[in-house]
Chains A and B, each alone.
Chain A
Amino acid sequence: MAGSDVVQKAPADAGRLFDLLVPGLYAWGVTVAWPVSSRFASLASRIVALVAVVALVAGSVLRASSPALARIIGIWVFLASCVAAWSLVGSPVMPSHLDPVQGLLGAVGWALFAVGWAGQKRIPPGPVELAPVATQPAVPRKRQPRRSVFVLTVVAIAAAIPMALAWWVESVERALLAHAVSLAAAIALITFAADVFDPRSRQIERAVALVRPEKRLLDAAPVLVALLALTLAGAAYYLLR
């Protein structure tokens, strides 16, 4: 019985190692090995790129025996080494030098790398205790009020505007920054709006209802004062220039 377990476990471990290693090697090959192999790349960037691939292999191999250490080495050391290699290599990875097709292939590689490492669920070491069966029938979800649907739609449209505007930025470097900023802003806006109207946040809503409006204003006062000061400073600059 134990022998058959070992036989079954070996291909599973090999498959898992393959799942972790191949996407990382592909992403590394397309986005790191390519720029550091250029003629003008420094020796330091090549060494750091080598450290990255060693970290990836070590992390993938350690995944079965020491998952926590494997994640530190396989994800964080690998990513840090890749970023260091990019910063040391200089001009070959400047946005104006990037080939769109290669950039797309690299993005796919990094997405696969992220999926490969994210797919490893932590399994509790001991026997799993099943949750007690609910004795009360599940309460169906309430329909979203029209007000929340309207606000969510308006926020989604408003969040899409910066993303659309980013496509009109002409300079390549600025366009990249504009896309990054607008994407981050859209994610922040929609996440927050969705969280506010999520039925799961009813408990927080009930707690908020207990907080008096004056206290809510008081809580937000430092940020609102800073915002007011910034707005006034902007207006003064606009009028005086």
Chain B
Amino acid sequence: MGRWVDLLAVSLLLGAALAFSLGVRSLDREEDRFALYWLLVGALSLKGSIDLIRPRRAR
């Protein structure tokens, strides 16, 4: 189970990078709403990854 949680955290980290890339691409296409959406998704993915790898109980 612990290994799966680690895998989920790494996937979220890579997902955050992908979301930031999509956000930048949306900025290029002048789609501000989508850019904001993807940047928010990226930020939440990154935060989720941090919370999984470094749970508050362990900090």
Residues of A within 8 A of B (CB): 151, 154-155, 158-159, 161-162, 165-166, 168-171, 174, 177-178, 181-182, 185, 188-189, 192-193, 196, 204, 207-211, 213-217, 219-220, 223-224, 226-227, 230-231, 234
Q: Which residues of the partner chain B approach A151 to less than 8 Å between Cβ atoms?
A: 10
Nearest CB in chain B: distance from A147 CB, A: 10
Evaluate contact between A208 and B23: CB separation under 8 angstroms. Answer: no
Q: Contacts A158-B17, A227-B44 given; indicate if A211 touches B55 (C-beta within 8 A).
A: yes
Chain A residues within an 8 Å CB radius of B30: 171, 174
Separation in Å of the B8 CB from the closest CB of chain A? Answer: 8
Known: A162-B20, A216-B52, A219-B51. 5 other contacts (CB 8 A): A155-B17, A181-B23, A185-B42, A192-B50, A219-B57
> Which residues of chain B come closer than 8 Å to A215, judged between CB atoms?
55, 57
CB closest residue in chain B, given A154: B14
How far apart sit A209 and B20, CA to CA, in the bound complex (Å)?
30
Residues A158 and B18 in contact, CB atoms below 8 Å apart: yes
Interface residues on chain B, size class: 35 or more
The reply to whether B13 and A193 contact each other, CB–CB distance below 8 Å, is: yes
Interface of B is mostly: helix
Question: How many pairs of A and B residues are in contact by the CB < 8 Å rule?
Answer: 113
A189 to B48 CA separation, bound complex (whole angstroms): 12
Residue among A166, A223, A231 facing the most chain B CB atoms (10 A cut-off): A223
Question: Are A192 and B27 touching (Cβ within 8 A)?
Answer: no
Minimal beta-carbon separation of A47 from chain B (angstroms) = 35
Q: Can you report 9 A-B residue pairs in the complex whose CB atoms are below 8 A from each other?
A: A154-B14, A161-B21, A162-B23, A174-B27, A185-B17, A185-B20, A211-B57, A220-B52, A227-B41
Closest to A205 in B: B58
Chain B residues, CB < 8 A from A204: 54, 58-59
Partner of A178, one of B16, B24, B57: B24
User: Is A189 within 8 A of B56, CB to CB?
Assistant: no
Q: Given A196-B53, A227-B45, A230-B40 in contact, is the A217-B21 Cβ separation under 8 Å?
A: no
Assess whether A223 is in contact with B1, with CB atoms less than 8 Å apart.
Answer: no
Instruction: Say yes or no: B41 contacts A230, CB within 8 Å.
Output: yes
Residues on the A chain within 8 Å of B51, using CB: 216, 219-220, 223
CA distance A166 to B56 in the complex (A): 34
Closest chain A CB from B2 CB (angstroms): 5
How far is B14's CA from A189's CA once the two chains are assembled, in angstroms?
9
CB distance from A216 to the nearest CB of B (A): 5
Measured in the bound complex, the distance between the Cα atoms of B55 and A214 in whole Å is 11
Taking CB atoms, residues of chain A closer than 8 Å to B41 are 227, 230-231, 234
* CB atoms of A189 and B16 under 8 A apart: yes
On whether the beta carbons of B58 and A207 are closer than 8 Å, the reply is yes
